[in-house]
Amino acid sequence: MADPSTSPPLTRASVFEARELIKGLVHHTPTLTNATLDRLASTPALVTEGDGDAGRKPAKPRMRLYFKCENLQRVGAFKIRGAFHALERLKREPGWEEGGGRERGVVTHSSGNHAQALALAARTHGIPAHIVMPSISAAPKIAATKGYGAKVVFSGSTSVEREAVVEKVIEETGARLVPPYDHPDIVLGQGTLGLELLEDSHDIIAAATGAEPSHAKNHGARPAESSFRAPITTPKFPESKKANAGLDAILAPCGGGGMLSGVALACEGTGVRVFGCEPWFEGADDAKRGYEAGKRVEAVSTLTVADGLRTPLGKVPWGIIYERRLVAGFYSVSEDEIIAALKLIYERFKMVVEPSSAVPLAVALFNEDFRALVEREGGEDGWDIGIVISGGNVNLEALGKLFAPKEA
């Protein structure tokens, strides 16, 4: 992909520029609310199974949740934003077209969502795509990637194994690498979902409180029309929301960190705090551990049910998340808590999402450290919290096994 030295600066203004570059190529996905999930998130001690929570007095936070539905995005995940932005930037690289770059194509490694995203983006531009996928990737994601016209090459499941196969493909084809998360152009493209979430949640609150809509307050100067949907049941807002009709925080899943760091850039200077959410099974909470220790964890080997979050945090996202402190912290949850949150989304929200997408909701429902923070700082007014639903690509057979009754 484009030389990182030619990428725009990693700033909020550059996220707005990225949105203009991919306009018409990606969906403006809806931001939705759900009164039942608000009530459950505001109910003490829904589950106290989490790490070290036994016997702890449960928090009593008040939360109003706003779900950014990237499961309704093209290819069923947010990854298409970064893929299209990366290719738009690559097409503008001096000498790329003239030097045969288009014919040699692009290559990446991904367990599924970035694979599909790059395959579709490349097909849209008439560029060959070589996709390295772990052999344990979900069958529907493999089939979809091939269906978008990409050549799929299989590898082992760890990032080291994936990258070794990518290097071999580059040697054989001369294809240009478009990494799944560790590049400024990817980060800026993914950050565009954060702009939409900020604006649409603002408008939902403004519609209920009589505050000015986001375009009137110059929160990005987007057109008045939007694809977001107002809540069916309007929550009761505190009077303070009329003066400050916006989010207090955003919870976003973190694998390689491209989307989390992009959302953090979108929120820079707004006062909205961004938190990363991870599974802790088999060390999948590498970003949390690295953030707390002050040193990035470079390798992860985990088979967490949240398969999209099995990768280590990248260098570029680390610079935004930790070195610039644009992410306020991390919270992690167990496998059972992820599955419980996933089941609630299916049964009470009626939406198809993948396990990785349920991790932020699991944090809001079950992580007592986060819930105590909301109770302490939100008080009686509570917090308005954006929840990023990152994707909806699921293997139905695997999903059935997740929800099957456990044998005694």
Give the residue numbers annotated as catalytic, written as ranges.
79, 111
Contact of 222 with 298, CB cutoff 8 Å:
no
252 three-class SS: strand
154-186 CB burial, b ≥16 within 10 A, e <16: ebebbbeebeebbeebeeebebbbbbbbbbbbb
Integer Cα distance of 116 and 80 in angstroms: 8
Q: Which of 314, 56, 64, 365 is nearest to 185 (CA)?
A: 314
Residue 150's alpha-carbon distances to 55, 126, 228, 383, in angstroms, are: 52, 11, 32, 43
**Residue 340 half-sphere exposure toward CB, CA atoms < 13 A:** 19
Beta carbons within 10 angstroms of residue 325's beta carbon: 11
Q: How far is CA 219 from CA 32, 199, 214, 216, 269, in A?
A: 19, 7, 5, 8, 12
Give the bridge partners for 253, in sequence order. 277
- Residue 282 CB-half CA count within 13 A: 14
H or E segment at 331?
strand 329-333
CB contact burial 25-47 (16+ within 10 A = b; e otherwise): bbebbbbbbbeebbebbbeeeeb
Kindly give, in sequence order, each residue whose CB lies less than 8 Å from that of residue 175, ignoring residues fewer than 6 positions away: 104, 105, 106, 107, 128, 130, 169
> What are the phi and psi torsion angles at 113 (to 5°)?
-75, -45
CA distance 183 to 101: 19
Helix, strand, or coil (residue 357): helix
Q: Where are the beta strands (DSSP E) in 114-156?
A: 129-134, 151-155
